[in-house]
Structure 1
Amino acid sequence: MSKLHDFQHRWVTTFQRSVGNPVLRRLPAQQLLETRGRVSGQPRITPIGGRRVGDQFWLVSEFGERSQYIRNIQADNRVRVRLRGRWFSGSAQLLPEDDPIARLRSLPRANSAAVRLVGTDLLTVRIDLDPS
């Protein structure tokens, strides 16, 4: 990983933690991902952008395995996703073989543009939603 990517990762994640995520978590229409902290076991809520397709929810992580929520998924893939104000349980699958750029073309445009702009190590995630 280049020094530029390291700087970009630090800058973006610092901004997300201190400004972006606290604001976005409070928006009723914001999609959220709840994982379990791999050390604490406590719920961790992350604003995300993606799209539900049938019984699956798709998203692309901008920093791949460097993202804390991805590291939490690696430790425990049981997650919850809030879509349109309603929580759904499911199992997250990391898909490094999927083409994240192609996947972003099928996801909401604004979020996909932001992920491509700041992302340095894109990783596709599929969440298989439990039957309701």
Structure 2
Amino acid sequence: MPMPRSRKYRVITGLERVNNRITRWALRRGLAPNAFALLETTGRRSGLPRHTPVGNGLVGDVFWLVAAHGRQADYVRNLIADPVVRVKVGGRWRAGRAVVLPGDDVAARSRSLPHQWDAAIGRLMATRPLTVRIDLAAG
């Protein structure tokens, strides 16, 4: 059963839609700052590739992300349905497998991410933060 969406969620996601379109366009062309990456999931209903801009949480062969809206986010629902994902970071795609970590300390995880200004914005916008670890193929 879907979770009810809060007013904060509706306002924030409305703003994010515009920003995500611009960031997605820039990431596809290699024009976005290094603080961002492009996450590719498979649509749980359509089976089509879905691209979502996320903060760059690359640490070695692990990509960390804190999903600001947790299981309310479509990309999180997609990676739960099919954990095989790709991440475009540093201009190249890397394959990986996503694992949702509901017991992780999201505040501590957010503070450990490489691009702190982006992580701080994510903490302000978050409604139901959730940590996702993506184990990447060796690169």
TM-score (norm 1): 0.91
Question: Which aligned runs of 4 or more in structure 1 are off by greater than 3 angstroms?
Answer: none
Find the counterpart in structure 1 of residue 16 from structure 2: 16
Cα distance per residue 1:12-66 (max 9 Å; x no partner): 112222x111100122233110001100011110000032122111010000000
CA RMSD of aligned residues (A): 1.4
Aligned length: 128
- Of 80, 84, 96, the match for 1:74: 80
Say yes or no: does 1:104 pair with 2:95. no
- Of 39, 45, 64, the match for 1:58: 64
Task: Report % sequence identity.
Answer: 48
Find the counterpart in structure 2 of residue 117 from structure 1: 124
Q: Tell me the SS of whatever aligns to 2:6.
A: helix
- Worse-matched range after superposition: 50-59 or 87-96: 50-59
- 2: CA distance between counterparts of 1:34 and 1:16? 17
Say yes or no: does 1:91 pair with 2:97. yes
TM-score (norm 2): 0.87
Residue segments in structure 2 that go unaligned for 5+ positions in a row = none
Q: Is the 8 A contact 2:56 2:89 kept in 1?
A: no
